[in-house]
C-alpha cells in the first residue's frame, strides 16, 4: 500500500485520471521512460525559452525562425501590463494560500504560468502553445485561473489566455471570482482522492498506444 505524498498539479491530475498505474510509474517510481521528449517538445521548449528571455529583457528581439514577428507587439503589450510576471513557479498550500516558493514545506499544489498580470481587478494568466490550435482542457485553464486569483485575492475576474504561436490565434476564457471560488471544491476532492489512493491498477484505454510504460514501447506494463 503506497500513497503519493508530493504536491500535485494539472499534469499529475491528468495522468491520474488517465491511468493510476501510469501515475504510479511516473510520479511514485519516477521511472525515466518517456522523459527524453521528442522533436516537437524540444522545439516548444526552445521557443518558450526565447519568449521568456524576451519578456525578461535578456534579449531585445526574437529570432523570426522561432517566433512569428506578429507576436512581438503583443508580447510588448503583455509585459507592460501591471504586476506582470513571467515563468513564475507558484506553490500554494491546501487552503489555496500562495507560499514563498514551490519547494516550501506545506506546498500542496504547484503551477508554472508562462505569464500573468493584474489590471482593473482582473487577473490574466497566459499560456504559450506551439503546434496546432487545440481548445485547451477546461480543467487546465480553470485551475490556472483559480491559482491566479489566489495570488490576487482582490480580483473580481480572471482571464485565461492561450496563445497559439504557430497559428497566429488565441483562445480566451473569462471567469468570475465567485465561480472560481465555488470550483475549488472540485479540485480539493480530486486531491483528496489522490492522497488517499493506495492501490494503483492498470486502466487500459486508447491512451496505452502513446504510453511510454506500455509493453509495445518496451515498458513495464502488461498492456
Chain contacts with ligand SF4 (rule: CB under 6 A): 19, 21-22, 202-204, 207-208, 211, 213-214, 221, 223
Q: How many CA atoms lie within 13 A of 173 on its CB side?
A: 17
Closest distance to ligand SF4 from the beta carbon of 220 (Å)? 8
Closest distance to ligand SF4 from the beta carbon of 194 (Å)? 16
Q: Which is nearer to ligand SF4, 33 or 166 (CB)?
A: 33
What's the grid cell of residue 23? 501515475
Closest distance to ligand SF4 from the beta carbon of 131 (Å)? 22
Closest distance to ligand SF4 from the beta carbon of 14 (Å)? 12
Closest distance to ligand SF4 from the beta carbon of 110 (Å)? 23
- Tell me how many degrees the CA angle 159-162-164 measures, rounded to the nearest 5: 155
Separation between Cα atoms, residue 116 and residue 122, nearest integer Å: 11
Edge-first strand listing for the sheet containing 157-164: 85-92, 109-119, 122-129, 157-164, 169-176
Closest distance to ligand SF4 from the beta carbon of 180 (Å)? 31
Beta strands 157-164 and 122-129: pairing type?
parallel
Q: Which is nearer to ligand SF4, 160 or 208 (CB)?
A: 208
Q: Which is nearer to ligand SF4, 144 or 213 (CB)?
A: 213
Burial class (CB within 10 angstroms; exposed 0-12, middle 13-18, buried 19+) of 42: exposed
Nearest to 150, CA basis, from 68, 64, 194, 91: 91
Q: How far is CA 154 from CA 48, 61, 98, 121, in A?
A: 30, 35, 14, 7
Q: Which is nearer to ligand SF4, 67 or 208 (CB)?
A: 208
Q: Which is nearer to ligand SF4, 136 or 204 (CB)?
A: 204
Amino acid at each position: 500500500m503506497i500513497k503519493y505524498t508530493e504536491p500535485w498539479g494539472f499534469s499529475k491530475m491528468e495522468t491520474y485520471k488517465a491511468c493510476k498505474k501510469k501515475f504510479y510509474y511516473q510520479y511514485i517510481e519516477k521511472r525515466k521512460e518517456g522523459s527524453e521528449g521528442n522533436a516537437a517538445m524540444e522545439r516548444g521548449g526552445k521557443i518558450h525559452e526565447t519568449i521568456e528571455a524576451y519578456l525578461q529583457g535578456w534579449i531585445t528581439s526574437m529570432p523570426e525562425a522561432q517566433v512569428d514577428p506578429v507576436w512581438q507587439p503583443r508580447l510588448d503589450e503583455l509585459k507592460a501590463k501591471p504586476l506582470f510576471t513571467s515563468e513564475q513557479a507558484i506553490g500554494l498550500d491546501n487552503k489555496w494560500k500562495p507560499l514563498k516558493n514551490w519547494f516550501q514545506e506545506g506546498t500542496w499544489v504547484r503551477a508554472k504560468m508562462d505569464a500573468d498580470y493584474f489590471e482593473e481587478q482582473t487577473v490574466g494568466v497566459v499560456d504559450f502553445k506551439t503546434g496546432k490550435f487545440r481548445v485547451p482542457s477546461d480543467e487546465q485553464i480553470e485551475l490556472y485561473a483559480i491559482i491566479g486569483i489566489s495570488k490576487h485575492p482582490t480580483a473580481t475576474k480572471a482571464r485565461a489566455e492561450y496563445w497559439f504561436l504557430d497559428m497566429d490565434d488565441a483562445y480566451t476564457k473569462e471567469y468570475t471570482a465567485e465561480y472560481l471560488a465555488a470550483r475549488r471544491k472540485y479540485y480539493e476532492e480530486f486531491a483528496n482522492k489522490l492522497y488517499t489512493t493506495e492501490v494503483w491498477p492498470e486502466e487500459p484505454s486508447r491512451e496505452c498506444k502513446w504510453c511510454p510504460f506500455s509493453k509495445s514501447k518496451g515498458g513495464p506494463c502488461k498492456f
